[in-house]
A and B are shown apart, each in its own frame.
Chain A
Amino acid sequence: MDSNGSLRASPWARSPSLSSSASGLSSDPLSFQGFGLQHNQHKWDDPSNSDYGISAEVPFKEFNQPSQTQSPLPCNSNNEIEIPDQENCHMSESSQTSALQDWDPSVMLNNLSFLEEKIHQLQDLVHLIARQKGIGQPNELVTQEQQLVTTDLTSIIIQLISTAGSLLPSVRHNLVNTSSLVGQIDQLRGTTIPSGTGASSSCIQQQNNGGKKVSDQSMQTDIPNNFEMEQNHNVGEQEFKDEEDADDGENLAPGSYEILQLEKEEILAPHTHFCTICGKGFKRDANLRMHMRGHGDEYKTPAALAKPHKESGSPKLIKRYSCPYPGCKRNKEHKKFQPLKTILCVKNHYKRTHCDKSYTCSRCNTKKFSVMADLKTHEKHCGKDKWLCSCGTTFSRKDKLFGHIALFQGHTPAIPLDDTKGVAEPPIHDSKENSNKAQSVNFTFGSPNPSNEVQNVMDVKGNSDDPISYFSSLNFEANFGAYNEFTRPLFDDSEGSFSFVMPGSFKSGGEPSSDNLL
């Protein structure tokens, strides 16, 4: 989430405090206005400036540029407004930056008045503390509120310091350190603030949130803060969606954005961040920063390790990227040019579209990819739940396969060959059959001749040492081919062994057989 997101959230966060005037803080119009201004300031931000300097300069710009009347409104920050806003910014960009760089007494004056205002806020806060002490409140509440107040105090003090620092141009560079300090304070505060209790405290929180935002946005510390998370959540989602939507049909007017085109080598370079000392390359800046720690203590400071603030907050032209491959739709020379949004998009696009697919899936050995991440995604699903059509197409999902089958005449799902069931022919069958071959089928079971009975008994007894093979029904199966010879002596028995069924009478109950022949 970039600073835009958090900024846009701020009016939401603050709007309830507008109506509620319970706390002395929120009823202070000055402080309110100040935050409103800060809210807008990012649009004028100059990348070369440190954040605190900018926030100090905001009031100035505000007053000096009445044409930007819509910006101080705290609730103006929806997307529609934003874009023209930014465009406006770009037009006046050069003049503004130059004005900021100059040593301007009016700027100083402005800053001083801002300082004054902040000091007033401080006073109010202290008043508040004093008043609270007067009223006998439960201890817990008091301590909680004191914590809130102190956090507010710190944020105001930080603003004071930063604004004061901006009075001297030379101080700016050192401010990075203070900002990291602020970061720490911020972190502390983030953990100590409880969720809103009571009307007054919630007001303070709201206020507090707005104030904190200044530091937050300026520092780009990604330290999660309770309120921040909560309140920006919705906004974040919304924004995310916007981005996705924009991915395909982003209707940026030609010329409303800056087109960058990286060279092929640049795109394919494995590393983008290089150590200035030893030259080692890294894919991520964070890794580089971690690496830098080994080069000396000066790289171990929190400031050095902190994520450098992005330039995205600056009022610049939107950046869009062009693919260096001539003729590609993503190439800026193309008639229907569709720009790529980020560098990552460029990289993935270029690899996927214009490079060899060098990564082969080790499982199926057929699917190839040019982007490692794609391979990994594929490998997660490769092999399992493969839904196969008779035409050879495979699907990861069953419903997709069925959709395919429904669509194409004659296509049927293929049954994978590996899971052979072999219900009919178990392996035991053969071995048994062999063992049975030794035995002759001399045992005429089933002959209804009572004289046989005795003989059969004797047979059984005689072979009782190996009754298994003797009785095995497989005798019959083994000799099936020759069952013409496997005769029962009596004609009538063979007649009785089948029955004739009248059409439609399938029930086993009604099977007539010719017993009467016996």
Chain B
Amino acid sequence: MLSQSIFCLLTEDLLIRVLHKLGSDRKQWRLVCKEFLRVESVTRKSIQILRIEFLLRLLDKFCNIETLDLSLCPRIEDGVVSVLLSQGSASWTRGLRRLVLSRATGLGHAGLEMLIRACPMLEAVDVSHCWGYGDREAAALSCAVKLRELNLDKCLGVTDIGLAKIAVVCGKLERLSLKWCLEITDLGIDLLCKKCLDLKFLDISYLKVTSESLRSIASLLKLEAFVMVGCSLVDDVGLRFLEKGCPLLKAIHVSRCDCVSSSGLISVISGHGGLEQLDAGYCLSELSAPLVKCLENLKQLRIIRIDGVRVSDFILQTIGANCKSLVELGLSKCVGVTNKGIMQLVSGCGNLKILDLTCCRFISVAAISTIADSCPDLVCLKLESCDMVTENCLYQLGLNCSLLEELDLTDCSGIDDIALRYLSRCSKLVRLKLGLCTNISDIGLAHIACNCPKMTELDLYRCVRIGDDGLAALTSGCKRLTKLNLSYCNRITDRGLDYISHLDELSDLELRGLSNITSIGIRAVAVSCKRLADLDLKHCEKIDDSGFWALAFYSQNLRQINMSYCIVSDMVLCLLMGNLKRLQDAKLVCLSKVTVKGLEVALRTSCGRIKKVKLQRSLRVLLSSEMLETLHARGCKIRWD
């Protein structure tokens, strides 16, 4: 009661102020007392729903939200929407500005239209990966007159007509992503550019549009970022249109555009001296001399990615000498990257934070130590498949790059326990990839575990010498791990899984091919790791029904599961699929004990929730077509292996 008297002194607006200062610990705040809970509820601006069952109640409580994110429970359907809008005051719709409906494949155009009409303030909608969406859904989206931001990624059915609907009505659109909307053609883009003159960001990746579209896009005076990945019909002619147009263009992304050559890029660059970001991976075979000359003029360039291009020392030197403000450099799979080139490059670019040297096999200690010396701000370094990286390299990194958060050492066979000991001086490491580093053992892992408490992602794929002791050290040191890959680390047993179960925040766990773990270990993980969302148990053949029982009952947050080649019975599979209400993606290939009937029943039980299933191809004819149609109709995609 003492506490109550203290809180009586705090008025609501004071509480709100305090809450604003609080940052991320709102959950604890809520638990203090009812008054705090109430204040938190009314001031909450965004909400992400995990379970649709509680949607209505939550929306009643948090009536002042501006962002509603349903991407984690895309089970919303037309009926749900009508219930939501008819029950209660539905006051939450008044202020809603942002709606995330990614993968909400079950929602039809009628429901979508209802929802969008109910939200008069709506400014941003994300319907990405709703692969069944077409023009009707686009028409429904166009009811949001104030729309400024729209993500239509992979809405496969949207054609020029749908786009035209949106373009005509939503004239204030500023950000639009049309990635993978394969039906859209030049006509649609042309109309879009005539109607939505405020566009600042446009993504037309993988569209079958030609250079004509770029002629239209060039007329967008406010465009700042233009993404055009994999537009294989666009050529240099199109890029030449951009030279004269889009005066504010700052970022351009032309990766994997097969018909784009150096001359096209030159024209874009020469038209936009203020370019800050250039991504031209896998579209050039090499950088021509005139293009390199052009790069010299891009004084404000911050990000450049030229993956897969043949480079020379001279080119790297030119970039280093001229692009002084470079923050990110991507040279992934570039041919001709040498120690000398990298040394010349980084000596000029002291601000570099992200450096991708994936598959630059000739990088060795000389280059790495120069990087470590000249780039103290380095945050992310990718050295996958750089065989010549040894403990000396990591010594240099540990010495100088104290800010390093992400390091990819996948397939660097020179990494051993000593190297990891050096690396452990980078105490801010958050993501570390050690896949295929077969020389590391529990000792090395212990070094990392002791010194890198911030670690959230760790990849130990096929680190075969890692065993239960390493996991013991890891789980005691890196308590905040959310992603852990232990695939094919065959020495791990149930004891190791028991240690893993101490990781409260673990959400992604890959245990593929662990032949020594049984149901006991899985049960421990299932019981304790409440946040587990993605679990890979492929080829874990010692886990039996009781392990899957445990998953079915405890891992209520599971969204993806891979149980191919597992020994599970019909009934447990049915239970699993029926009981895991958040399950969206299941890979069910080669389940030897499961009959066709059992599988069919299991699929039926999850129908409406499940969005993606992988099945054996041979089952295609055996499963009833009626069931397959129902699955499809409710927005589930079946992948036949």
Chain A residues in the interface with B (C-beta under 8 A):
398-399, 402, 405-406, 410-413, 415, 421-426, 428, 445-448, 450, 452-453, 456, 460, 464, 467-468, 471-474, 476-477, 480-481, 483-484, 486, 488, 493-494, 496-503, 506, 508-516, 518
Q: In the docked arrangement, what's the CA distance between A428 and B46, Å?
A: 36
CB contacts (< 8 Å) of A497 on chain B: these are 50-51, 53-54
Classify the secondary structure of B's interface with A: helix
Contact between chains at B100 and A484 (CB < 8 Å): no
Contact between chains at A421 and B169 (CB < 8 Å): no
Which of the segments B67-75, B301-309, B316-324, B342-350 contacts the partner chain?
Answer: B67-75
Q: Mark B541-564, 1 if CB is under 8 A from A, else 0.
A: 000000001001110110100000
Query: Which 4 residue pairs spanning A and B have beta carbons closest together?
Result: A424-B108, A471-B605, A515-B530, A497-B51
Q: In the docked arrangement, what's the CA distance between A132 and B3, Å?
A: 131
Contact between chains at A498 and B58 (CB < 8 Å): yes
CB contacts (< 8 Å) of B71 on chain A: these are 506, 508
CB contacts (< 8 Å) of A415 on chain B: these are 135-136, 139, 161-162, 165
CB contacts (< 8 Å) of B579 on chain A: these are 445-446
CB contacts (< 8 Å) of B633 on chain A: these are 422-423, 426, 428
Contact between chains at B607 and A399 (CB < 8 Å): no
Chain B residues in the interface with A (C-beta under 8 A):
24, 26-27, 44-51, 53-54, 56-58, 67, 69, 71-72, 77-80, 83, 87, 100, 105-111, 132, 134-136, 139, 142, 160-162, 164-165, 168-169, 187-188, 190-191, 194-195, 482-483, 504, 507-508, 530-531, 533, 549, 552-554, 556-557, 559, 571, 574-575, 577-579, 581, 601-602, 604-609, 626, 629-630, 633-635
Contact between chains at A471 and B578 (CB < 8 Å): yes
Contact between chains at A483 and B77 (CB < 8 Å): no
Q: List 14 A-B contacts (CB under 8 A).
A: A421-B134, A424-B634, A428-B626, A460-B575, A468-B604, A471-B574, A473-B581, A473-B606, A497-B50, A500-B27, A500-B47, A511-B533, A513-B50, A513-B557
How far is the CB of A431 from the nearest CB of chain B, in Å?
11
CB contacts (< 8 Å) of A510 on chain B: these are 482
CB contacts (< 8 Å) of A503 on chain B: these are 45-46, 67
Q: In the docked arrangement, what's the CA distance between A413 and B192, Å?
A: 13
Q: In the docked arrangement, what's the CA distance between A45 and B418, Å?
A: 110
Given A422-B108, A445-B578, A503-B45, A496–B136 Cβ distance below 8 Å? no
Q: In the docked arrangement, what's the CA distance between A450 and B549, Å?
A: 11
Q: Closest A-chain residue to B188, C-beta based? A: A402
Q: In the docked arrangement, what's the CA distance between A501 and B579, Å?
A: 26
CB contacts (< 8 Å) of A468 on chain B: these are 601, 604-605
CB contacts (< 8 Å) of B604 on chain A: these are 468, 471-472
Q: Closest A-chain residue to B185, C-beta based? A: A398
Given A514-B27, A515-B504, A473–B605 Cβ distance below 8 Å? yes
Contact between chains at A499 and B50 (CB < 8 Å): yes
Q: In the docked arrangement, what's the CA distance between A488 and B579, Å?
A: 13
Contact between chains at B581 and A446 (CB < 8 Å): yes
Q: In the docked arrangement, what's the CA distance between A503 and B77, Å?
A: 26
Contact between chains at A398 and B110 (CB < 8 Å): no
Q: Closest A-chain residue to B161, C-beta based? A: A413
Q: Which of B44, B87, B105, B109 neighbours the largest number of chain A CB atoms within 10 Å of its CB?
A: B109
Contact between chains at B46 and A512 (CB < 8 Å): no
CB contacts (< 8 Å) of A516 on chain B: these are 504
Q: In the docked arrangement, what's the CA distance between A487 and B194, Å?
A: 52
Contact between chains at B69 and A512 (CB < 8 Å): no
Contact between chains at A426 and B629 (CB < 8 Å): yes
Q: Closest A-chain residue to B81, C-beta based? A: A424
Q: In the docked arrangement, what's the CA distance between A422 and B110, Å?
A: 9
How far is the CB of B175 from the nearest CB of chain A, in Å?
14
Contact between chains at B54 and A412 (CB < 8 Å): no
